[in-house]
Amino acid sequence: MPIRVQNDLPVKEILEQENIFVMDEYRAAHQDIRPLSIGLLNLMPLKEDTELQILRSLSNTPIQVDVTFVRMTSHVSKNTSTSHIYKFYEPFESIRDKRYDGFIITGAPVEQMPFEEVDYWEELKKIMEWTKTNVTSTLHLCWGAQAGIYYHYGINKTELPKKLSGVYRHRVRNRKIPLVRGFDDIFMAPHSRHTEVPQELLEKDDRITILADSRQAGVFLCMAEGGRQIFVMGHPEYDRMTLDSEYKRDMGRGLNPQIPENYYPDDDPENKPVLTWRSHANNLYTNWVNYYVYQETPYDLYGTP
């Protein structure tokens, strides 16, 4: 079903070229239905890339989705044009009185900093607190998941001996939970991070249910409060070439990165990566939207407690 976006959003044309049904504001306004209202707090530096990846993932859900891009007011992005951000993104202050069926908090390239040293941490805390009362279900991705677990449950991240980068095998831990409905016993998913939330601490916390993990990459997916808070430690939304771009970027910076694991055929960066995670990524977003947003949210967001 369609994603509703602003008529002149640059990634709209790319989505349409991929045969993804994108509905402009005019047509959406003439349909007599209530679309799901999803907020996207995009903390990634290349915001248009993340927009495309998240919208592509949401496009496989069977329900019309109206996406609002949200930005921090306490941080200025250096990698996306100011004109794009001010044209397509709403500051949190302008949406704080609204309610959303679902909300997504992305990762951010600040994971090696203590949370309290991130320049927008205080504003992010306000947003995460706001989601408790104004959002039916919040999906946290990568650093956003680490930040959410730290804020809501007090479990801090730890530094890894080396960057975790690649595509890893994961196992489903609890098949009865709808969020992993339709998953194979073993599935692949990308990770790209320097830190982790220790699995043993998550295992000990009765408030958190682990749904999928990996021997190499640790916890991939967990949830709390019956799905009102969902945490994804990896990047299922990544497209085929994202890890390639990150690897070559770091090479260009002289960081001597390791080749992403299980990614290039024969571990040769000159070979085109094999896409092995898209179907489960789509399944994850479809299950989230259906079982934790659509099935739980009231028709009247404002007239229902």
Please give the Cα distance from 65 to 108 (Å, whole number). 24
246 an active-site residue? no
- What is the rounded distance in angstroms from the CA atom of residue 201 to the CA atom of residue 204? 5
Given 152, 170, 191, 235, the catalytic residue: 235
For residue 68, report the phi and psi dihedrals to the nearest 5 degrees. Answer: -115, 120
- Give Dmax over CA atoms of the chain in angstroms: 57
CA dihedral sign, ordered 12, 39, 175, 167:
positive
Which one of the listed residues 142, 170, 191, 196 is annotated catalytic?
Answer: 142
SS3 157: coil
Tokens 């682990």 sit at which residue? 210
Q: Could you give the residue ranges of the DSSP H alpha helices within the chain?
A: 11-17, 25-29, 47-58, 82-88, 92-95, 121-134, 143-153, 199-204, 242-252, 278-287
In a 13 Å sphere around the CA of 295, the CA atoms on its Cβ side amount to 13
Distance (Å) of CA 291 to CA 7, 172, 221, 268, 283:
29, 18, 16, 40, 12
Can 222 be counted among the known catalytic residues? no
Q: Cα–Cα distance between 304 and 297 in angstroms, integer?
A: 9
Report whether 45 contacts 109 (CB < 8 A).
yes
| 237 has catalytic annotation | yes
Question: In whole angstroms, how far apart are CA 127 and each of 101, 166, 219, 252, 267?
Answer: 15, 31, 24, 35, 41
Q: For residue 185, which amino acid is it? A: D
User: Which residues carry out catalysis?
Assistant: 142, 235, 237
